[in-house]
Amino acid sequence: LLLALMLLAPALSAQQERGLIFNLEIGELCLQSAQCKSGCCHRDSGLSMARCAPKAAEFHECTPKTIYGVYYKCPCESGLTCDADKTIVGSITNTNF
């Protein structure tokens, strides 16, 4: 179901400016980063609800863009790079920011 939603994202977002599933604003609940206008679905902890959040600005903590749909730290804004622990250990332990 989640894969189907991700595949339908471009078609649905082209039909309407903002919807219930895609093109979500900052602060709205999300399941995947593809749903958010900002491109970052963020959660504070493993037990918290994920919400759309702005991407990391210069000098803020960030996470390299991954295949996972939800971040503990958002990826960088366009034009910036994230200098982080890119090893598999950093990804598994959520210290790759």
> Residue 54's pLDDT is what?
97
Amino acid at 26: I
**Which residues lie below 8 Å from residue 63, measured CB to CB, with a gap of 6+?**
71, 72, 73, 74, 75, 82, 84, 96, 97
> Residue 13's pLDDT is what?
47
Range 1-11 average pLDDT: 53
pTM higher than 0.75: no
CATH code, residues 21-96: 2.10.80.10
| pLDDT digit string, tens, across residues 12-63 | 444 445 568 999 999 999 999 999 999 999 999 889 999 999 999 999 988 8
> Residue 89's pLDDT is what?
56
> Residue 15's pLDDT is what?
46
| pLDDT digit string, tens, across residues 73-90 | 999 998 888 876 666 655
> Residue 66's pLDDT is what?
78
